[in-house]
A and B are shown apart, each in its own frame.
Chain A
Amino acid sequence: MVQFAQVQHYPPSVLAERAQYFPVPGAHLYTVLHEVEVPVARVLLIGSFASERHTSYRPWLQWARYLAARRIEVLRFDYRGVGESTGVFMEMTFDCWVDDVERLSAWLRKREGEAPLLVHGLEMGGLLAAKAFHNGEADALLLWSAPVNANKVLRSTLQRWMAPQQLRKREEDRRPPSHYFRLLDAGRSVEVDGYEWSAELWRQSLSFELPATMIPPNDPADAYRRPVRIVQLGKSAAPLVLGGLLQGFEEGKDFSWLFAPNYEWITSRLGIRLETV
């Protein structure tokens, strides 16, 4: 059995992790900088939506540590109003989260020591990353399981949340997902997984989409003339993406099959010589 109550020897990259609050209008973002001395590149990690945060959290952090151990500086954060960040979720819109990404990418760019910046989005975070990249805020883009639009994520999140809730309700109180969609369409808020979705969030999600240049058959790398990689992850990537989580049994899962090729893509496309890493 693992014994934790002994002095551990931590890798230098772990000791260089700095958790801090980053001020944004009306709130503070929880950020963790995986600081690297003389980085060969920088990556802004934009994670999955609120309800999926807790399941994807650990492999997402492992990816950050994987990169930091290879001299790629990483900044990860919680969306405004989510997780350790402050702010009231019900008041949040996609505009707020786009603003978060813009501010953080600008901050990363200003850090000492010039290095190319890549934005990497997971699931809903993919839409935010794509938007930032589209607006010219990064040198490269990596997307894992980005949806075509945000409404698709909200719909599937609500449907997934509903199933166990129905078991707890009297038969006469049970409602189909369409009932909640109608409430949101009608301007009412709905609570899902402990998060209060506002009608405005729902309304914005309908038009918050992946740029058309990133949707096949278009070739985004050709359109932007900057490196772009779009990967759809299967259930084998759970709990990083949806597909079921055997909580209590999958925490030690090895993601090197996913991390290694993506890291190689980053180094090759950003012109990083591996001998410098």
Chain B
Amino acid sequence: MISDKIEARQLITLGADGVLVRGTYHEVPGKTQDGSNAQGKNIGVVFLNPLSTPRTLIGDSAVFWASSFAAHGYPSLRIDLPGLGDSYGEAAKDLVTFINEAGFAAIAASKIREFTKTFGLSGVVIYGHCAGGVTAVYAASECRECKGLIITDPYFNAANMLTPKLSPGMVDWARRSRVGEVIRAIYGRIREARKKQDNGALPGNANVRVVTHWKKIASSGLPILVFKSGEPRALGSAKLRAGSFDYLEHITSFAGPRSRLSITMIEGASHSFADRVGRAAIREQAQAWLNENFPRPTAQTPVLTNLEFSKPVTDADIATMSPAQVPPGPVAHKTYGGNDTAAARGLH
């Protein structure tokens, strides 16, 4: 039978404010219709689009994570913001600048409120990848329903400030080609390093508005989990990291002792985190973080179980595993905030 609902998934449209937004809801097995149970309400997870990528995200990784979170007691919603994916509307001509200037913040906040109310949740954690993380940070500032953030590979720069100085053909080549990608990465780091000043001022190409919002939410004590993918080895990551401005450290230094910012580096994961290493690591780490910060109101039996590996996993092992079987890649944690803020500031 054709239906908008199967197993633990439902296709939904949020439109209470007059703006139709399409999405896929992953419900917690065994929950009542309004999302609550005798012991209390759940925290949900909302996934936002990174740039124009539809709500499945690259490699359908968001479907994997949303299903997993829901199976562990965190109902999840993946939405297409207006002009993206299945939702109606025209995408902005310069989508990057639109997002950087908080173009999606109000509608994202409105939809989070609607989702929370419709499904009887106590609040949500917003999941934003790359540009989706920018929208997530702005939206978090605008809605009380946001109780936490999971941000993957955040960026803090404004739109490329070099662009107006180059010919369109050169810009096109630099954006499309692999060599251009490498050159852009190196140029960006050199530029940041040159702009960095002893007094801790932001680099010249910083998106001051988004950094300010980061500081605001970090200082409010909102739990924030950041995942970073490994730097390209071909670029000499150690040297590049040393020369780059550490925005997260900068934000934490302003945030004070209430800050609850955790950062996890996943070596071997690609920028999309859609690969085996990235998707498994995010599932495991985010799940643990959700459990720690937002304990479920009742003991719900997870449908998916985490695998434990008693011996080091080799590339050969990984080649034969399905994504669900792959353990997280090498991770490095640093946690800012709580009683350990001062010590954490010294970490790099």
Contact = CB atoms under 8 A, between A and B. Distances in A.
A168 B230 contact: yes
B83 A168 contact: no
B17 A5 contact: yes
Contact of B88 (A10, A23, A86, A163): A10
A4 B106 CA distance: 8
Interface in B41-82: 51-54, 56-61, 63, 81-82
Contacts of B7: 86
Contacts of B83: 2, 251
A2 B234 CA distance: 40
A4 B135 CA distance: 14
A164 B270 contact: yes
A198 to B, nearest CB: 11
Interface stretch (B19-27, B117-125, B241-249): B19-27
B167 interface: no
B3 A20 contact: yes
Interface string B93-115: 11110110101101100100000
B345 to A, nearest CB: 28
Given A5-B110, A54-B56, A193-B274, A249 B95 contact: yes
Contacts of B204: none
B11 A19 contact: yes
B18 interface: yes
A194 B6 contact: no
A248 B52 contact: yes
B93 A252 contact: yes
Contacts of A19: 4, 11, 22, 86
Contact of A191 (B1, B235, B323): B323
A152 interface: no
Interface residues of A, number: 60
B94 A249 contact: yes
Given A194-B61, A252-B92, A83 B103 contact: no
A54 B58 contact: yes
A169 B268 CA distance: 7
Given A28-B6, A57-B54, A164-B181, A194 B90 contact: no
A274 interface: no
A249 B322 contact: no
B56 A251 contact: no
B276 interface: yes
B274 A194 contact: yes
A101 interface: no
A195 interface: yes
A263 to B, nearest CB: 20
B31 interface: no
A96 to B, nearest CB: 16
Contacts of A256: none
Interface string A120-158: 000000000000000000000000000000000000000
A170 B330 CA distance: 14
B52 A247 contact: yes
B89 interface: yes
A32 B234 contact: no
B154 interface: no
B92 A2 contact: yes
Contacts of A57: 54, 85
Interface string A1-20: 11111111010001001111
Contacts of A58: 52, 54, 84-85, 91
B4 A6 contact: no
Nearest to B89: A4
Contact of A4 (B56, B82, B131, B233): B82
A14 B82 CA distance: 13
Interface in A207-221: none
B234 A166 contact: yes
B319 interface: yes
Contacts of A188: 319-320
Interface string B190-217: 0000000000000000000000000000
A5 B107 contact: yes
Given A58-B52, A164-B270, A249-B95, A196 B322 contact: yes
Contacts of A88: 322
Contacts of B6: 21, 28, 86
Given A4-B89, A4-B106, A22-B2, A10 B101 contact: no
A22 B5 CA distance: 10
Contacts of B232: 164, 167-168
B275 interface: yes
A246 B175 CA distance: 7
Contacts of A249: 93-96, 175
Nearest to A33: B2
A58 B53 CA distance: 9
A21 B2 CA distance: 6
A168 B106 contact: no
Interface of A: 1-8, 10, 14, 17-23, 28, 30-32, 50, 53-54, 57-58, 61, 82-84, 86, 88-90, 163-171, 173, 183, 188-191, 193-196, 244, 246-249, 251-252
Given A189-B320, A247-B53, A252-B90, 17 more contacts: A2-B90, A5-B106, A5-B107, A8-B88, A20-B2, A20-B3, A58-B84, A83-B60, A88-B322, A171-B233, A183-B319, A188-B320, A246-B176, A248-B99, A251-B84, A251-B92, A252-B95
13 contacts: A2-B89, A5-B17, A5-B19, A50-B60, A58-B52, A164-B178, A165-B270, A168-B232, A168-B270, A194-B58, A246-B176, A248-B51, A251-B95
